[in-house]
Amino acid sequence: MSTKNLVTREPETMLELARRTEPPLPGSNRTHEYLSALEQKVLWLACWMIHHANHERASRDGLKVGGHQASCASVATLITALYFDVLRPGDRVAVKPHASPMFHAIQYLLGRQSRDKLERFRAFGGAQAYPSRTKDTDGVDFSTGSVGLGAAMTLFASLTQDLLHERGLLPEGEPKGRMVAIVGDAELDEGNIFEALLEGWKHDVRNVWWVIDYNRQSLDRVVPERLFSKIEDFFGAVGWQVVTLKYGKLLEAAFARDHGPALRQWIDDCPNDLYAAITFKGGSAWREHLTRDLGHLAGIRALLAEHDDAALARLMTNLGGHDLELVLEAFHSVTDDRPHCFIAYTIKGFGLPFAGHKDNHAGLMTQDQMATFKQAHRVPDGKEWDRFAGLDIDPDELAAFCAAVPFASRTEAHATPPVPVPASLPMGRRAARAATQEAFGRIMGELARDGGELATRIVTTSPDVTVSTNLGAWVARRSVFNRTEHADVFKAQKVASSQLWAESRRGQHVELGIAENNLFLMLAALGLAGPLFGERLLPVGTLYDPFIARGLDALTYASYQDARYLLVATPSGITLAPEGGAHQSVATNLIGIGQPGLLAYEPAYADELAVMMRFAFEHLQADDGESIYLRLSTRPIPQPERAMTDALADAILAGGYWLRQPAPGSELALVGSGAVLPEVLEAADALADDLPGLGVLVVTSADRLHAEWRAAQGGRGDGAEAGPTTLERLLAPLAADASLITVLDGHPATLAWLGSAGGRRVYPLGVDRFGQSGDIPDLYREYQIDAAAIIDRAARACQDRLQRP
């Protein structure tokens, strides 16, 4: 249901609600006054920004623009306290997605955001709907949007900071930054939160603050009260300090009066939905309920008599998360680096006409409501974007205050210069037969042994598949990261093991439990070490290819914020034969093509992999680079005897090369990718008599070929000069109407589009059903990627050609 304009209420009541600034409490200094004023202004600007986007800007497409005024309002006090007082320059923040306008308003007040961007909130080129590292220009530390990920990301960023610190890469003597998340309470329904908390506990995570905007509302509803006590317990169980800000100082003062404890009990017992509904209804509803339930108590009768409806509403909604002084006290009383969870009770839509209404998530103030709101905030017409209009404090004073807040002196971190990458990577012993996964392990082992500066910047990580993805040799030399040193107990006990597993403060491998979300968040944090902490790391993550899907949203999240990492996914496909369908990936190649910011390669041979890995370490660091995804296999296959030339390396990186050059004008060609090359070559041999000069094209990156082809089309559409693409050049020797048989152990659509590049017919072979246990011959036959299937398609292609007009 669209909740746009769903609620109206009496303007007078609204005015009372909107006028929230309490007179400065005795003993409070000017800071409190400034912060109160700024809190109001931030809320005004955020609500106006959303209103402007929806009501003042002309719509060309009839779409509702949206924005979340209620979600902004509940976090006003917390976010003001943080940015204008508590945060230090080295702190990094993930702001809950729906408070994006609050973040942008704050940056505007701090002089880090332009008015133009605010006026174009949610419009092309304007401030983004949800804070975005890459699209916003006002210093977003962590993108948010997919709930749960931003919070968890801060935890992995803190681990990254620890890792840099232990390795002496951060300036001595400077305090570590706090990784702060401003979190919506419903975000804690996401399982990835708890996966992250467990991982954080294992790693003794420090310097993380999660500030939970506990408005007890999600998108659809008011959430039940019992849930959060469990969540609170969980934080405690994993070593977090939980600070609950339930009641503000007004309410605490009321509780201290005669029969005050009965009032506290009444609110404590009040179901969340009832509290929210009465909040929405306002002062008279509070009076009615309290009179009915507690009117027999003289102290309560006196309290009701002393408060008019507006004052009563203010009192009864005086929750901890809206009490600036309390919030500041709570933040400033943290003196250690333990992870802290602040559970701040708030009201969704606080100070807005739909405060507490269960449908307020997407609620927008109407024109009339905005007019009243504007009046309450004393913003003159035409001064809506003014930084300090309508406040009781001299604008110059406020500007000076803003300029002096600690956070304002922050400068963005810039990564140190690129880490040099050698011209080739050491491959170790060459074998006549090799699997790409095994080759990966060998290259990493060689890097660990003598990888120079490059190796010192590599950090590997894996969700409990370090050994089975062949990172063992790397870990044996570079050890597992742990702030507490730990020898390999099996070694100390002289128990034979091929895996050496020492844990060290300078370790270069982060061992994670089996949670792929955590892997991708760890990669995201390591991959942002440069922009976040000013020191570059080159993260390498390994996992089984099918389980990319398990962490796919976190992978997307990592790429969305342009974190750079090398993802090595292995084993892949039905080639994993006996392991069966649960472990056999089918659609990951399509993820490789479809995922922005991630360049996918699938090597067939070990020497291709070495070229790709070398390139990856360079490309991760390039300004216009991307992350790299390598899809590997455990199948040992005969290796071509060849020297790696520059031309071959270039072709491998560009997306493909002819393993067997086609005769000019060939009417058919075989195209293969990855572990199926032996079948392709077997079929080519079998067809050689009938089709002399039959070419075999190895596609090393369908993703790269596709991207280049698409880009070239765009370029040509713009009238720009563009030469033939790699794919067009590769296919040029073939007849214009040649047929292509494409084969891979993955989804056939990966290569099925190849014909479009030059109007050639494609016969795509690949896997589009779930796999099962078997051996490679059985499975390749069953799924039609064996030599016989290739030969069959070749014969069909030849027949089809004969029948063409």
Asked whether position 215 contacts Mg ion by CB under 5 A, the answer is yes
Query: Would you give the binding string for ligand TPP spanning residues 289-328, x where CB under 6 A is met?
Result: ----------------------------------------
**Which of the stretches 91-99, 717-725, 757-765, 794-802 binds ligand TPP when contact is defined by CB under 6 A?**
91-99
Single residue of 165, 348, 550, 583 touching ligand TPP by CB under 6 A: 348
Q: How far is the CB of 78 from Mg ion (least distance, A)?
A: 12
**Which of the stretches 10-18, 163-171, 211-219, 392-400 binds Mg ion when contact is defined by CB under 5 A?**
211-219
Beta carbon nearer to ligand TPP, 207 or 561: 561
**Which of the stretches 158-166, 179-187, 460-468, 736-744 binds Mg ion when contact is defined by CB under 5 A?**
179-187
Cα 688 from chain centre: 50
Single residue of 51, 98, 203, 760 touching ligand TPP by CB under 6 A: 98
Asked whether position 363 contacts ligand TPP by CB under 6 A, the answer is no
Query: Which of the choices Mg ion, ligand TPP, none does residue 700 contact, using the CB cut-off of 5 to 8 A by kind?
Result: none
Q: Could you list the beta-strand ranges (E) of 544-667.
A: 566-569, 598-601, 627-631, 637-638, 656-660
Residue of 611, 655, 215 lying closest to 423 (CA atoms)? 611
To which residue do tokens 């509290």 refer?
275
- Tokens at residue 329, please? 């006290």
- Tokens at residue 554, please? 């976190």
Asked whether position 217 contacts Mg ion by CB under 5 A, the answer is yes
Query: Would you give the binding string for ligand TPP spanning residues 140-169, x where CB under 6 A is met?
Result: ------xx----------------------
Torsion of CA 651, 653, 656, 659, to 10 degrees: 60
**Which of the stretches 90-98, 511-519, 627-635, 794-802 binds ligand TPP when contact is defined by CB under 6 A?**
90-98
Single residue of 16, 185, 359, 703 touching Mg ion by CB under 5 A: 185
Alpha helices in 167-259 (DSSP H): 191-202, 226-237, 249-255
Q: Say how far apart CA 116 and CA 299 lie, in whole Å.
A: 54
Number of residues located near ligand TPP, criterion CB under 6 A: 18
From residue 729, alpha-carbon distances to 95, 649, 651 in Å are 48, 16, 11
Beta carbon nearer to ligand TPP, 3 or 468: 3
- Residues 673-732 interacting with ligand TPP (rule: CB under 6 A): none
Asked whether position 184 contacts ligand TPP by CB under 6 A, the answer is yes
Q: How far is the CB of 46 from ligand TPP (least distance, A)?
A: 13
Query: Which of the choices Mg ion, ligand TPP, none does residue 71 contact, using the CB cut-off of 5 to 8 A by kind?
Result: ligand TPP
To which residue do tokens 């003062």 refer?
253
Asked whether position 184 contacts Mg ion by CB under 5 A, the answer is yes
Asked whether position 279 contacts Mg ion by CB under 5 A, the answer is no
Asked whether position 69 contacts Mg ion by CB under 5 A, the answer is no
Asked whether position 219 contacts ligand TPP by CB under 6 A, the answer is yes
DSSP codes joined into one string, 48-81 = HHHHIIIIISPPSS-------HHHHHHTHHHHHH
On whether the CB atoms of residues 508 and 479 are closer than 8 A, the answer is yes
Beta carbon nearer to Mg ion, 354 or 601: 354
For residues 259-294, b (16+ Cβ closer than 10 Å) or e, as one string? bbeebbebbeebebbebbbbbbbbbebbbebbeeeb
Beta carbon nearer to Mg ion, 53 or 186: 186
Q: What is the DSSP letter of 5?
A: T
List Cβ neighbours of 273 (8 Å cut-off, separation of 6 or more): 221, 222, 358
Q: Is 535 exposed, middle or buried (0-12, 13-18, 19+ CB in 10 A)?
A: buried
Beta carbon nearer to ligand TPP, 183 or 707: 183
Q: Say how far apart CA 258 and CA 260 lie, in whole Å.
A: 5
Query: Which of the choices Mg ion, ligand TPP, none does residue 41 contact, using the CB cut-off of 5 to 8 A by kind?
Result: none
Asked whether position 357 contacts ligand TPP by CB under 6 A, the answer is no
- Tokens at residue 65, please? 């623009």
To which residue do tokens 């059985």 refer?
778
The residue of the chain with the least Cβ separation from ligand TPP equals: 184
Q: Say how far apart CA 434 and CA 640 lie, in whole Å.
A: 10
Residue ranges that bind Mg ion, judged by CB under 5 A = 184-186, 215, 217
Residue ranges that bind ligand TPP, judged by CB under 6 A = 71, 74, 96-98, 146-147, 184-187, 213, 215, 217-219, 348, 361
